[in-house]
Structure 1
Amino acid sequence: MSNANDHFWQLDLSDKSIPRYIAVEGPIGVGKTTLTKNLASTFNYDTLLERAEDNPFLDRFYAHEKNSALPTQLFFLFQRIQQLNELRQGDMFQPVRVADFLIEKDPLFAQVTLNEDELKLYQQVFDHMAIDAPTPDLVIYLQASTDVLLDRIHSRGIRSEQTIDHHYLQRLNDAYTHFFHYYDSAPLLIVNASEIDWVNNPDDYRELVNYMLDITRGRHYYNPQPTILR
C-alpha cells in the first residue's frame, strides 16, 4: 500500500463513499502521475503506474526518430496489458487502487504517432490482444492548454522530454479531447488543470477530492478558480 503518513494529503473521509478503482488520465505534463500518487496517499491505495522509464525506445522516439514510433507504442501496449493481467491475477477483482492510465486510450497515441501502415499493424495487434481490464469506478481526465503542458514539461526537466514540440503536443491534446468527448464507460470527471496547483496547495487538492467523492455516475466538469497560498 502507499504511504499514508503524509498528512498534507489527508482528509476527513469518514462520511464519504470512496471509489475502489480510480483511473487518472491526460496528456504529457498535465500532472496525472502526481495526482495519482497523492490520491493513493490519501486513500491508502496501491498505485498502478505507467513505467515510461522502462521503455527502451522512448528516448529515440522523442528525438524524432520516425522508425521508433511503432516499437515505442507496442512496448507500452504490452506493458500495460501485462500490468492489467497482474491486477486480475492477484485477487484484484475488487481492486483498491488508483492508476495513471486507462488502457482504452492507448490507440489514440498510435493515431497521432504512426503512419497509415504502422497504424493498421498496431490496430491488428490491439484488436487481437485479450484485454480484460477492470472498469474504473471513476475516471479523472485532466485538461490543460498545450502551452501550459509545454511549460510544465520544460520545468520538470526530464532530459528525453525536452525535444517534445508544440505540434506533437497539440495533436495529442486534440486526440484526448476527442476520445473523452465520447467516453461513457465509467463515471467521468473532466478537470481544468491549467490553473489549480494540487502539488503545492492543500486547499486546491482538498477541494478537488471533495468534489470527486460526490460523483457516482455521469459526466462532470471541475473548473475552479485557483486559490492563493498565504
Structure 2
Amino acid sequence: MKYHFITVEGNIGAGKTTLTHLLAKHFNARIVLEEFADNPFLAKFYENPQQYAFPVELFFMAERYKQLKDMLHTKDLFQNITISDYLFTKCLLFAKVNLPEEEFRLYQKFYDIIHQQMTLPDILIYLHAPIKKLQENIKKRNRSYEQSIPDAYLFHLQETYTSYIKQHNIKTIFIDASNADFLGNPKHLRVVLDALEKDYDSGQHYFTLP
C-alpha cells in the first residue's frame, strides 16, 4: 500500500463516512471520523446561521485539530494506515462559505497558526455528487437539523471544495458519485480500491462508477 494517510472528502451527504468505514475495514486501518454530533452549536447554526456561524466553525476547528493531532502522532504497531472522513482544510472552506468577511479574516488567523502543525494526507479521495443526490442522501439519513438545507448552500460548498482542490493541485482521486452505492454495490468499492493501488502525479485523477 503506497498511502499511509488517506482522506475521504465531499459535500454534505456525499457518502464520506460510509466509504471511510469500508476502506478502514478492508485495510485494517485506523479510522478518524468527524464528531459533528458533539458540536453544541450545530443545530442552532442551521436555525440561525448569522448568529451561530462563528462559534460552530471555531468549535469544529478545535475538535478536528485535537482529533487529528492525537491520532496522527500516536503510532500503532498493528495499523500503519490511517483513513479520515475529513480534510483539516475543511475548516477554512466552510468558514469561507458561512462567515461574513471580518469574521472570516479573524478565523483565518487562528486557522493559519494551527494549520502549520497538521499533517497533510498522502492522497485525497473526493466524492462529487449532484445536488439532487446529496439531498436524497440527506433525507435518507434523517438528521433533523439537516432537513432544510437549501440547494444553494450545497452548491456553494461544492464550488468551494472543487475550486480549492484545483487551485492547490492536490493529489486527488476524484470520483463521480452520481450513482454511488458503496454499501450495496461491491463494484463501486472495487473502483476505489483499484485506484488506491496506483501512484499519481499531483492534480485530479477522475474515475466513474459502473
Q: TM-score when scaled to structure 2?
A: 0.91
Q: After superposition, what is the alpha-carbon deviation per residue over 1:50-81, rounded to whole angstroms, capped at 9, x for unaligned?
A: 10001000001112342100000000111111
Aligned to 1:164: 149
Name the residue aligned to 2:54: 70
Q: Is residue 36 from structure 1 mapped to residue 20 from structure 2 by the alignment?
A: yes
Kindly indicate whether residue 3 of structure 2 is the aligned counterpart of residue 22 of structure 1.
Answer: no
Following TM superposition, where does structure 1 have runs of at least 4 consecutive aligned residues deviating by more than 2 angstroms?
128-131, 215-219
| Equivalences for residues 32-181 of structure 1 within 5 A | 32-91=16-75, 96-129=81-114, 131-181=116-166
On the 8 A contact 2:8/2:84 being kept in 1, the answer is yes
1:199 counterpart = 2:179? no
Whether the aligned pair in 2 keeps the contact of 1:108 and 1:176 (CA below 8 Å) is yes
Are the structure 2 counterparts of residues 146 and 106 from structure 1 closer, same or farther at C-alpha, using a change threshold of 3 Å? same
Cα deviations across residues 164-207 of structure 1 (Å, max 9, x unaligned)?
Answer: 1111111111111111112334x211000111311211122113
How far off is 1:217 after superposition?
3.2
How many pairs are equivalent?
207
CA distance in 2, matches of 1:181, 1:212: 20
User: Do the aligned partners of 2:49 and 2:98 also contact (CA within 8 Å) in 1?
Assistant: no
More displaced, 187-196 or 209-218?
209-218
**CA apart distance, 1:117:** 1.6
The CA RMSD over aligned residues, in Å, is 1.8
Paired with 1:45 and 1:204, the residues of 2 have a C-alpha distance of 20
Which of these two proteins has the greater Rg computed from alpha carbons? Answer: 1
Of 189-198 and 17-26, the range deviating more from structure 2:
17-26
**Contact 1:110 1:119 (C-alpha < 8 Å) held by counterparts:** yes
Alpha-carbon offset, residue 150 of structure 1? 1.2
Maintained 8 Å contact 1:24/1:36: yes
TM-score (norm 1): 0.84
Q: Identical aligned pairs, as a percentage? A: 36
Rounded to whole Å, the distance in 1 between the matches of 2:7 and 2:72 is 16
After superposition, the C-alpha distances for 1:75-106 in whole angstroms (9 at most, x for unaligned) are 011111111221243137x9521001111232
Q: Which runs of 5+ in 1 are unaligned?
A: 1-16
CA distance in 1, matches of 2:81, 2:182: 22
For 1:184, what is the secondary structure of its paired residue? coil
Following the alignment from structure 1 to structure 2, what is the Cα–Cα distance between the partners of residues 178 and 110? 15
Deviations 1:196-223 (A, max 9, x none): 3112111221132112322343331102
Q: Which amino acid aligns with 2:178?
A: S
In structure 1, C-alpha distance between the alignment counterparts of 2:22 and 2:115, rounded to whole Å: 31
- The whole-number CA distance in structure 2 between the counterparts of 1:105 and 1:157 is 23
